[in-house]
Amino acid sequence: MSRRILIVDDDKEMVRTLRDIFSLRGWDTGVAYSGQEAIDAQKQAPFDRVLMDVKMPGIDGVAAHKVLKRLFPKLPVVLMTAHRVADVEATTAKIVTKPLDLPALFTMLDQPAAL
């Protein structure tokens, strides 16, 4: 049974490229384009990992992570940001910066204990 990853970003091309890359690496991918969609998708069919952009309209990544963290305390969530890490609102999620260092991200996601 392959692992499931939810990719969340309001940039549709970002979502598409990531979905294709993760599919190539054998992940089952789900996509969402906002924080609310991500929460709804996770409620509907829980994923093993969530890769989510910070800056989104409506519920942003940090807020959505808080909700998900409450609903699914053990769900590993990685937040992506185009800002400096230091400029992101305080959060317990792991943060990576864009452009993504994909090999490093793969390693991170393979080791959920580190998340």
Binding site for other proteins (CB under 8 A): 11, 13-14, 17-18, 20-21, 24, 55, 80, 82-84, 86-87, 97-100, 102
Cα–chain-centroid distance for residue 76?
Answer: 9
Q: Which is nearer to other proteins, 20 or 110 (by Cβ)? A: 20
Shortest Cβ 9–other proteins spacing (Å): 9
Distance separating alpha carbons of residues 44 and 111, to the nearest angstrom:
25
For other proteins, the closer of residues 45 and 85 by Cβ is 85
Distance, CA of 81 to CA of 92 (rounded, Å): 14
- The minimum distance between CB 65 and other proteins, in angstroms, equals 19
* Residue from 72, 76, 87 nearest 52 by CA: 76
Pick between residue 71 and residue 107 the one whose CB is nearest to other proteins. Answer: 107
Per DSSP, which regions of the chain are E strands? 4-8, 28-32, 49-53, 77-81, 94-97
**Least distance (Å) from other proteins to the CB of residue 62?**
15
